[in-house]
Structure 1
Amino acid sequence: MTESTSTRPAGGANSAVRGPRRARFTAFAAVVAASLLLSGCGIGVENATAPTASSSSSTSVAPDARAGLENPRTIAGPSTAATVADVAPIAKDPTPKLPVTMTDAGGASVTVTDASRILALDIYGTLAETVVGLGLGDRLVGRGSSNTLDSMKDLPLVTQNGHELNGEAILALRPTLVLTDTTLGPREVQDQLRASGVTVVFFDPKRSISTIGSQVETVAQAVGLDALGRKLAARIATELDAAKAKIAEVAPADEAEKPRIAFLYVRGTAGVFFLFGKGMGPDDLIDAVGGVDVATAAGITGSKPANSEALLATNPDVFLMMTDGLASTGGIDGLLKRPGVADTAAGQHRRIVDMADGQVLSFGPATPAVLLSLADAIYRAGVAR
Structure 2
Amino acid sequence: MSRSVGIRVLLAVLALFLVAATAACGSDTGAGGGQRGLSTATLTDIAPEPVGPPPTPILPVTVRSFDGGDVTVNSADRIIAADRYGTLMQTAWALGLGANLVGRSTSGVFPAVADLPVVTGGNGTLNVESILALRPTVFLTDSTSATPAVREQLRAAGVTVVYFDPQRSMAGVVPQIEAVAGALGVPDRGQALAQRTRAEIAAAEAAMPAHEDLSIAFVYLRSSAITMLAGPGSGADALIAALGARDAGAAAGLKEPFTSITSEAMISAAPDLLLVMTDGLKSIGGTDGLLRVPGIAQTPAGRNQRIVDMSDSVLLSFGPNTGRVIAALGKAVYTPTPA
Tell me the TM-score normalized by structure 2: 0.89
Residue in 1 that maps onto 2:186: 225
Q: How far 1:362 sits from its partner (Å)?
A: 0.6
Mean Cα deviation higher: 123-132 or 71-80 = 71-80
Gaps of 5+ in 1: 1-43, 52-56, 62-68
Matched, 1:290 2:244: yes
Would the alpha carbon gap of residues 60 and 144 (structure 1) be closer, same or farther in structure 2, given more than 3 Å must change? closer
Contact 1:77/1:383 (<8 A) preserved: no
Structure 1 residue 72, shift from structure 2 partner: 2.8
3-state SS of 1:313 partner: helix
Equivalent position of 1:381 in the other structure: 336
Q: Is the 8 A contact 1:77 1:381 kept in 2?
A: no
Q: Within 2, Cα distance between the matches of 1:355 and 1:97? A: 37
Match of 2:26 in 1: none
Contact 2:48 2:90 in 1 (8 A): yes
Deviations 1:269-306 (A, max 9, x none): 11x21111111111110011121111111222322111
Which amino acid letter does the alignment assign opposite residue 120 of structure 2? T
Residue 265 in structure 1 maps to residue 220 in structure 2: yes
Deviations 1:107-148 (A, max 9, x none): 111100011111111111111111011000111111111112
- Structure 2 CA distance for aligned equivalents of residues 203 and 239 of structure 1: 23
Which SS does the other structure have where 1:373 is aligned?
helix
Counterpart-to-counterpart distance in 2, 1:84 and 1:287: 24
Structure 2 CA distance for aligned equivalents of residues 133 and 310 of structure 1: 40
CA separation of 1:185 and 1:74: change in aligned 2, threshold 3 A: same
Shift in alpha-carbon separation, 1:341–1:246, aligned structure 2, 3 A: same
Partner of 1:138: 99
Verify: 1:181 aligned to 2:135, yes or no. no
Match of 1:341 among 296, 301, 313: 296
CA contact (8 A) 2:228 2:261 kept: yes
Aligned residue in 2 for 1:78? 38
Q: How many equivalent residue pairs?
A: 322
**8 Å contact 1:77–1:382 — kept in the other structure?**
no
Q: Which residue of the partner structure matches residue 359 of structure 1?
A: 314
Which residue of structure 1 aligns with residue 25 of structure 2? Answer: none
Paired residues of 2:197 and 2:323 also in contact (CA < 8 A): yes
- Aligned partners of 1:215 and 1:78: how far apart in 2? 33
The partner residue of 2:254 within 285, 300, 304 is: 300
- Give CA deviations for 1:32-51 in whole Å, capped at 9, x if unaligned: xxxxxxxxxxxx96622379
The answer to whether the Cα contact below 8 Å between 1:265 and 1:275 also exists between their aligned partners in 2 is yes
2-side partners of 1:144 and 1:58: how far apart?
30
Stretch of structure 1 that moved more, 149-158 or 314-323 = 149-158
Are the counterparts in 1 of residues 41 and 308 from structure 2 also a CA contact under 8 Å?
Answer: yes
In the alignment, the residues of structure 1 paired with residue 273 and residue 15 of structure 2 have an alpha-carbon distance, to the nearest angstrom, of 30
Q: In 2, distance between residues paired with 1:361 and 1:173?
A: 27
Partner SS for 1:151:
helix
Q: Which has the larger radius of gyration?
A: 1
User: CA–CA distance in 2 between the matches of 1:376 and 1:201?
Assistant: 36
The code of the aligned residue for 2:218 comes to F
CA distance in 1, matches of 2:206, 2:215: 20
Distance of 1:213 and 1:74 partners within structure 2? 30
Q: Secondary structure at the match of 1:180?
A: strand
TM-score (norm 1): 0.79
Residue 287 and residue 178 in structure 1: after superposition, are their counterparts in 2 closer, same or farther (change >3 A)? same
Note the C-alpha offset of 1:83. 2.4
